[in-house]
């Protein structure tokens, strides 16, 4: 026999053995896996087709007489492989498609229809061996049409496997299908054009490519698939952990930033709470906020007494905002502007881009501002101003900054309100002190006018009451209210005695000759003594005045009681005169009862 005969026998035999072995191997690897069963069915079906081709050629060689049956059987087996291959391909790549399943079902219907005329010899007939040893056969008119039906199924299978080759992690099944398709067209449909053992060789090559891919890539191996699934899950979990780690890191940075802001807020409030002067407090607030929170620029606005303007009272940071403070920069509250809007609404306002903000008022000296956060200053239920934080960069602030800055602003506003109340209290106390001091001064003037000058001298001879001042320095102390040390004689010292800020006397002390000058400690001691003397004298005066007031009230009460015990008008008048005469020590007392006659009254009418 020619060599080509044995080439086809060898090729189909190799395909039979390889396909059958692959089918059993895949089935044994995972007999419960549906996909493994599906592949084993196709591989064994391909082995049956190949062995049918071998039996066909042996029958023709030995002239047994069953060659037509094996030809028809092989044709049906090859068609069935083509019809079922798309269903396997779509499942192998992990997809499901009802359209593919319907298409496959239509293929089986076509196979069933073609099967009857095929086995009746109405499509293929008269198989024989050509002179070159190639098996040939004759076909009817339907024999040229029936082989065209499986071609779309082979093409669809190749497209599915090639399109999803990366997800399937193998190109060998797609290449195996492509080789089988080429052999079916060239060696089957166009066999008369190419009278060579193309179909047998391509079948063997297709099975070889498929087997190589299965062995190399461990296809249909559940352990490998499980390992890959586990690796995928581990990779996915690792990715999720990385995402979680990044999210946690971002959240941690966010919390650290928030804690830093809160700690800074507490520090700022603690430091400004001891400042009670409003002007000093405002400057301290803006400086601390800018420095501790590392902000670009901060401005503090307060509502003026007219409630019409928001005045820039303090500023810190970069730029010329401090110059606006000196210029007494102000904004009308009833007009546009972020500060005015915040004061009117009592709500914070965040500006990510000032160039796109319709209510932002451009100020030339701070034209570099690109984003701004303004929060109201609220204290005791009232809006007293606004705190403006500015940045030269876009989108600097976020919603969390609003919460933190509003908390800081509330505490700052309370500190400002407390300082203002303290200042008002101090002013009220100063007014009261001055008023009381004036009354005290008038009382001392009245007390001293009513008696001789009180002057006491203490020297080596003892304590002596004198009628006038000895040294002229004392008069100077009374006039100026300042400590006097005589010129050229540093042993003399004059210190004023004050009562509620009013000078009511002086202490004049002299050192012995050669005792040295008055030092700071000694002067402080004399000042302290003078202060204590003033307090003691004021207390004595108040006690004396209280005693006199009590005596007057007792005297008035006694006189009133005696008058009430008197009977009749004349007796009451007489009692009042007697008591006034005795109590006041007057030389004469006179009481007259009556009214001045009305000039319009007619005396004749009273008669």
Whether 549 has a pLDDT exceeding 90, the answer reads: no
Give me the phi and psi of 127, to 5 degrees please. -75, 145
Average pLDDT over residues 12-29: 85
Give me the phi and psi of 85, to 5 degrees please. -60, -40
**The pLDDT value given to residue 225:** 59
pLDDT band at residue 391 under the 50/70/90 scheme: very high
d(CA 141, CA 134): 22
**The pLDDT value given to residue 456:** 77
**The pLDDT value given to residue 342:** 94
Average pLDDT over residues 428-435: 68
Which one of 3.30.450.40, 3.40.1160.10, 1.20.1300.10, 3.40.50.720 gives the CATH number of domain 455-553?
3.30.450.40
**The pLDDT value given to residue 338:** 93
The CATH code for residues 3-219 is 1.20.1070.10
The two structure tokens encoding residue 70? 């094996």
Determine the 3-state secondary structure of 168 from DSSP.
helix
What residues contact 556, with CB distance under 8 A and at least 6 apart?
A: none
> In which region does residue 358 sit, left (phi positive, over 0), alpha (psi from -120 to 50) or beta (all else)?
alpha
Q: What is the pLDDT of residues 483-502, one digit of tens each?
A: 877 665 567 788 888 877 77
Domain boundaries, the chain: 3-219, 272-425, 455-553
CA distances 256 to 248, 251, 269, 411, Å, are: 12, 8, 20, 21
Average pLDDT over residues 398-426: 86
Q: What is the distance between the terminal CA atoms of the chain, rounded to a whole angstrom?
A: 188
**The pLDDT value given to residue 376:** 95
Whether 55 has a pLDDT exceeding 60, the answer reads: yes
d(CA 17, CA 211): 11
**The pLDDT value given to residue 605:** 47
d(CA 319, CA 387): 17
pLDDT band at residue 437 under the 50/70/90 scheme: low
| pLDDT greater at residue 168 or residue 566 | 566
CA distances 3 to 14, 53, 59, 71, 279, Å, are: 16, 17, 17, 21, 114
**The pLDDT value given to residue 390:** 92
d(CA 430, CA 442): 18
What residues contact 459, with CB distance under 8 A and at least 6 apart?
A: none
DSSP 8-state symbol, 597: P
**The pLDDT value given to residue 441:** 63
| Fold match flag (272-425 vs 455-553) | yes
Quick one: CA torsion of 293, 297, 303, 305, rounded to 10 degrees? 110
d(CA 401, CA 260): 12
Whether 68 has a pLDDT exceeding 70, the answer reads: yes
**The pLDDT value given to residue 300:** 93
Query: What topology is assigned to 272-425 in CATH?
Result: Beta-Lactamase (3.30.450)
The two structure tokens encoding residue 104? 């496959």
Whether 596 has a pLDDT exceeding 70, the answer reads: no
> In which region does residue 339 sit, left (phi positive, over 0), alpha (psi from -120 to 50) or beta (all else)?
alpha
**The pLDDT value given to residue 372:** 94
pLDDT band at residue 374 under the 50/70/90 scheme: very high
How far is C-alpha 330 from the geometric centre of its chain's CA atoms? 31
Of 284, 287, 283, 336, the residue nearest 310 (C-alpha): 336
Average per-residue pLDDT for the chain: 81
Q: What is the pLDDT of residues 105-145, one digit of tens each?
A: 888 888 888 888 877 778 888 888 888 888 888 888 777 77
Q: Which segment of 372-381, 423-432, 446-455, 508-517 scores lowest on mean pLDDT?
A: 446-455
Q: What is the DSSP string of 365-434?
A: GGTT--EEEEEEEEETTEEEEEEEEEESSTT---HHHHHHHHHHHHHHHHHHHHHHHHHHHHHHHHHHHH
pLDDT band at residue 340 under the 50/70/90 scheme: very high
Q: Which segment of 445-454, 471-480, 555-564 scores lowest on mean pLDDT?
A: 445-454
Range with top average pLDDT, 49-58, 178-187, 269-278 = 49-58
**The pLDDT value given to residue 218:** 61
Q: What is the pLDDT of residues 188-226, one digit of tens each?
A: 777 777 778 888 888 888 888 888 877 776 665 555 555
Task: Go through the chain and tell me how many residues it has.
Answer: 607
What residues contact 114, with CB distance under 8 A and at least 6 apart?
A: 76, 79, 123, 146, 149
């Amino acid at each position: 026999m020619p060599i080509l005969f044995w080439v086809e026998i060898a090729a189909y035999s190799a395909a039979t053995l390889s396909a059958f072995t692959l089918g059993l191997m895949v089935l044994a690897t995972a007999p419960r896996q549906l996909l493994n069963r599906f592949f084993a069915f196709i591989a064994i079906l391909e082995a049956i087709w190949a062995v049918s081709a071998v039996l066909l050629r042996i029958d023709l060689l030995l002239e047994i007489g069953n060659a037509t049956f094996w030809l028809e059987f092989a044709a049906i087996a090859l068609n069935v492989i083509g019809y079922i291959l798309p269903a396997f391909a779509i499942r192998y790549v992990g997809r499901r498609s009802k359209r593919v399943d319907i298409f496959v079902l239509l293929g089986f219907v076509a196979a069933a229809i073609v099967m009857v005329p095929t086995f009746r010899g109405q499509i293929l007939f008269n198989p024989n061996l050509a002179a070159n040893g190639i098996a040939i056969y004759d076909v009817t008119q339907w024999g040229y049409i029936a082989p065209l039906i499986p071609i779309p199924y082979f093409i669809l299978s190749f497209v599915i496997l090639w399109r999803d080759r990366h997800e399937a992690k193998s190109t060998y099944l797609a290449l195996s299908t492509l080789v089988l398709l080429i052999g079916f067209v060239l060696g089957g449909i166009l066999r008369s054009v190419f009278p060579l053992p193309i179909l047998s060789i391509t079948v063997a090559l297709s099975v070889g490519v498929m087997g190589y891919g299965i062995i190399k890539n461990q296809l249909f191996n559940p352990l490998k698939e499980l390992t890959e699934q586990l690796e995928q899950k581990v990779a996915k979990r690792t990715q999720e952990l990385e995402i979680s780690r990044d999210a946690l890191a971002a959240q941690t940075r966010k919390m650290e930033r928030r804690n830093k802001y809160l700690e800074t807020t507490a520090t700022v409030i603690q430091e400004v709470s001891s400042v009670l002067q409003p002007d000093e407090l405002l400057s301290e607030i803006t400086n601390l906020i800018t420095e501790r929170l590392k902000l670009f620029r901060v401005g503090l606005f307060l509502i003026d007494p007219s409630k019409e303007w928001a005045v820039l009272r303090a500023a810190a940071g970069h730029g010329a905002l401090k110059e606006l403070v000196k210029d007494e920069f102000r904004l009308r509250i009833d007009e546009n502007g972020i500060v005015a809007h915040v004061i009117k609404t009592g709500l914070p306002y965040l500006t990510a881009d000032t160039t796109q903000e319709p209510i932002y008022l451009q100020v030339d000296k701070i034209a570099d501002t690109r984003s701004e956060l303004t929060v109201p200053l609220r204290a005791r239920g009232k809006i007293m101003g606004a705190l403006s934080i500015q940045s030269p960069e876009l989108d600097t602030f976020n919603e969390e900054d609003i919460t933190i800055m509003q908390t800081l602003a509330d505490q700052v506003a309370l500190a400002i309100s407390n300082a203002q109340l303290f200042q008002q209290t101090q002013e009220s106390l100063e007014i009261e002190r001055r008023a009381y001091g004036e009354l005290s001064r008038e009382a001392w003037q009245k007390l001293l006018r009513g008696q001789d000058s009180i002057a006491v001298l203490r020297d080596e001879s003892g304590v002596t009451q004198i009628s006038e001042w000895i040294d002229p320095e004392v008069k100077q102390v009374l006039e100026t209210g300042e400590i006097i040390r005589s010129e050229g004689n540093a042993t003399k010292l004059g210190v004023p005695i004050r009562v509620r800020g009013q000078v009511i006397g002086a202490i004049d002390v002299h050192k012995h000759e050669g005792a040295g000058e008055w030092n700071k400690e000694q002067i402080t001691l004399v000042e302290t003594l003078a202060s204590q003397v003033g307090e003691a004298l004021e207390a004595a005066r108040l006690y004396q005045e209280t005693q006199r007031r009590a005596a007057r009230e007792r005297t008035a009460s006694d006189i009133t009681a005696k008058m009430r015990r008197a009977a009749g008008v004349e007796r009451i008048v007489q009692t009042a005169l007697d008591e006034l005469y005795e109590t006041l020590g007057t030389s004469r007392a006179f009481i007259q009862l009556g009214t001045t006659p009305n000039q319009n009254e007619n005396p004749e009418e009273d008669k």
